[in-house]
Structure 1
Amino acid sequence: MTSTSDLHVVETRPLIPPYQLHKELILEGPSIVTVTQTRENIKSILQGIDERLLVIVGPCSVHDVQAARDYACRLLPLRKQYAGQLEIVMRVYFEKPRTTIGWKGLINDPHLDGTYDINTGLRLARELLLDLAQEGMPAATELLDPVVPQYIADLISWTAIGARTTESQTHREMASGLSMPIGYKNSTDGSTSIAINAMEAASKSHHFLGINLHGQVSIVTTTGNPDGHLVLRGGNSGPNYHSEAVTQAVQALSSSCLPSKVMVDCSHGNSSKDYRRQGEVLLKVAEQIRNGSRDIMGVMLESHLVEGNQPVTENISDLTYGKSVTDACINIERTAELLGELAEAVAFRQ
């Protein structure tokens, strides 16, 4: 008999249900405080109640959980030092959208060897997030696969919807049910209209197909997420972090009756994909802050223990510890310098 289904599927493996991972790796006590308090702080920044700046900073992607822990140990003192001016949240990205092919992140391929041990990837991700929360380091991520939030979203204080997925109805629906503030990145061509549409769509109630904590396919009904904001990341048309572009974006947001504050991503199109220029972008943002701008509510930086990046090789032991295997990053020492400059600008404005 001729089959008409699964013609290109060679294997399906059972996925651990979310509730089982939650039961093994429990969010409790101080970790809950880290997550919930940071979410509230970010909402206050977005609403203009809190005059500090939100800073999403950390590796482009996590491929080595121990290096991520070591990075967090270096970042946590800076979070405490500049707490009066900056709400520092560590960038902990487990999923990577690819233009064509490539390593898709720790959850998808935790061993970096093409074995796609997703159950282990989910466990490693949740373990790391719990460790960070217990130490008082809140986490930010980009949620790409709509199944993943059931496994880790309770540990995330801020999330991004990326430039390639902002137009996706699936991701807008997912965002409408998430429990944390969300940044929507402008399109890769540099336009903000799609991200603004996404913010509006995700703020409304939706009904869609998803899974529940038991892994059962379900009809999901959401309230809508009102805590969205625009992330300016530049694009093919050039950077958009300068004051004129910020003003134009804020005016477009106001016209749509949406929160009229923006975050500036110092990487990607704004740095012309040169990681070393992230500092230039941040210092220009700091100058706007120092001059009294209240349109910018946050910044993003790609940063790791060691600057630059490296390819994934067959022999994983050859990889340089603390160096990105995706986009190139500035190092933690340069990061500390830039955070100091930014904090000084916010203090001057305050």
Structure 2
Amino acid sequence: MQKTSDINVVETRPLPAPSKLLAELPKTEAQADFIARSRADIRRLIFTDDKRFLLIVGPCSIHDTAAGADYARRLAALSKEVADRVMIVMRVYFEKPRTTVGWKGLVMDPHLDGSHDIAEGLRVGRAFLREVLDLGLPTATEFLDPITPQYVADLVCWGAIGARTTESQTHRQMASGLSAPIGFKNGTDGSLQTAVNAIKAASQPQTFLGINLDGIASAVVTRGNPDSHIVLRGGSGGPNFSAAHIAQTEQLLAKAGLPKAILVDCSHENSAKKPERQPDVMRELLAQITAGNTSIMGAMVESNLHAGAQPFPVPKDQLKYGVSITDGCIDWSTTESMVREIHAALAPRFA
């Protein structure tokens, strides 16, 4: 018989059922309590008049868990200093969308050698999330593959749907079932309506194809996620964080019957893909807040131990410690100064 399926499939590798990995690396009662409290805090910052600022900051992607843990320890200490005015959530990104091809993140290729040991990637990712939570840092990640959440989402306090996937029905459906607050980025073309439509879709009950905790293909039925909001990251037309852009976003959200809750990504097109400009974007946001804006409730920053990015792929022993292999980042000293600047700028809010 003529073969008509799997013509281009070379191999299929069974993965452990999510329930097995969750049993192998369970969350502790303390971690569960911390995650629940952190999600509740994030919801308050997004949707109420809580005056604290939500800052989602950290490496573009985690490729070296030792360097990631080093960064997390520093961030945890800084977080405690500014907690009265700034809620810091660490970027713990394991999945990276690629415009064409490239390294797709720790989950997909944890050994950085093209072996694509996904089972180990899920294990390493889950273990690292637990490590960050134990430091008292809430966790943030981008949900890219619709199967990955069954393995790690119980350890995530805030999630993002990226600019490339905000328009995807699969990702909107997935977000409707996630338990954490979710930020939808505007489209790569700068379209705000794409993100607004995504927020509305994710808030509704959905039924879609997925897997259950035993790894069995299932029809997943959700009640809808009420905790979604917009993330402005600029687009092909340029940045979108100015006062005029913020006002336009407020009007669009109001017209859609959605809360005026805006988080600004200081990276990507908002910084013209120049990571060193991120603090300048932050200063503009703080100026708007100081002038009375109440819809900007937070921001996202790509930060690492050292500045910039390094070429990849290269042999692992040639990689520089604490330098991104995906998007460029600001370094730790710049991050520390920026966080303290945010804290100081928000003082009038709490007078």
Secondary structure in structure 2 of the residue aligned to 1:56: strand
C-alpha distance in 2 between matches for 1:49 and 1:314: 48
Poorly superposed stretches of 4+, deviation over 3 Å: none
1:303 paired residue number: 303
C-alpha distance in 2 between matches for 1:15 and 1:162: 25
Deviation at 1:76, TM superposition (A): 0.5
Matched, 1:191 2:194: no
Map 1:51-62 → 2, pairs under 5 A: 51-62=51-62
1:76-106, Cα deviation, whole Å (9 max, x unpaired): 1111111011110000000000000000000
Secondary structure in structure 2 of the residue aligned to 1:55: strand
1:324 paired residue number: 324
Taking every aligned residue pair, what percent have the same amino acid on both sides? Answer: 52
**Matched residue type, 1:330:** I
RMSD: 0.8
Matched, 1:42 2:49: no
**Matched residue type, 2:102:** G
Matched, 1:261 2:286: no
**Matched residue type, 2:255:** S
1:103 paired residue number: 103
**Matched residue type, 1:187:** G
Q: Does the 8 A contact of 1:260 with 1:295 survive in 2?
A: yes
C-alpha distance in 2 between matches for 1:345 and 1:229: 24
1:18 paired residue number: 18
**Matched residue type, 2:236:** N
C-alpha distance in 1 between matches for 2:68 and 2:36: 22
1:30 paired residue number: 30
Secondary structure in structure 2 of the residue aligned to 1:10: coil
Deviation at 1:304, TM superposition (A): 0.2
Q: Does the 8 A contact of 1:305 with 1:323 survive in 2?
A: yes
Deviation at 1:332, TM superposition (A): 1.0
Deviation at 1:33, TM superposition (A): 2.2
1:253-272, Cα deviation, whole Å (9 max, x unpaired): 01101121100100001000
Aligned length: 350
Matched, 1:248 2:242: no
Matched, 1:312 2:312: yes
Map 1:72-221 → 2, pairs under 5 A: 72-221=72-221
**Matched residue type, 1:36:** A
Gaps of 5+ in 2: none
Deviation at 1:230, TM superposition (A): 0.5
Deviation at 1:30, TM superposition (A): 1.9
Secondary structure in structure 2 of the residue aligned to 1:159: strand
C-alpha distance in 2 between matches for 1:49 and 1:270: 26
Deviation at 1:234, TM superposition (A): 0.6
Deviation at 1:315, TM superposition (A): 1.5
**Matched residue type, 1:321:** Y
Map 1:261-300 → 2, pairs under 5 A: 261-300=261-300
Deviation at 1:292, TM superposition (A): 2.0
Secondary structure in structure 1 of the residue aligned to 2:287: helix
1:232-289, Cα deviation, whole Å (9 max, x unpaired): 1011111111111001101100110112110010000100000111111011111112
1:110-166, Cα deviation, whole Å (9 max, x unpaired): 011000000000000000001111221111000000000000000000000000000
Task: Give TM-score, length-normalised by structure 2.
Answer: 0.98
Comparing 315-324 with 46-55, greater Cα deviation is found at 46-55
Deviation at 1:293, TM superposition (A): 1.3
C-alpha distance in 2 between matches for 1:276 and 1:202: 34
Deviation at 1:313, TM superposition (A): 3.5
1:36-66, Cα deviation, whole Å (9 max, x unpaired): 1110001001112321111100000000011
1:63 paired residue number: 63
**Matched residue type, 1:15:** L
Q: Does the 8 A contact of 2:51 with 2:349 survive in 1?
A: no
Q: Does the 8 A contact of 2:177 with 2:222 survive in 1?
A: yes
Q: Does the 8 A contact of 1:291 with 1:349 survive in 2?
A: no
C-alpha distance in 1 between matches for 2:140 and 2:305: 18
C-alpha distance in 2 between matches for 1:249 and 1:73: 36
Deviation at 1:307, TM superposition (A): 0.4
Map 1:326-345 → 2, pairs under 5 A: 326-345=326-345
C-alpha distance in 1 between matches for 2:41 and 2:97: 28
Secondary structure in structure 2 of the residue aligned to 1:123: helix
Deviation at 1:34, TM superposition (A): 2.1
C-alpha distance in 2 between matches for 1:297 and 1:257: 18
Matched, 1:235 2:235: yes
C-alpha distance in 2 between matches for 1:48 and 1:251: 18
Gaps of 5+ in 1: none
Task: Give TM-score, length-normalised by structure 1.
Answer: 0.99
Q: Does the 8 A contact of 1:210 with 1:220 survive in 2?
A: yes
C-alpha distance in 1 between matches for 2:28 and 2:285: 37
**Matched residue type, 1:284:** E
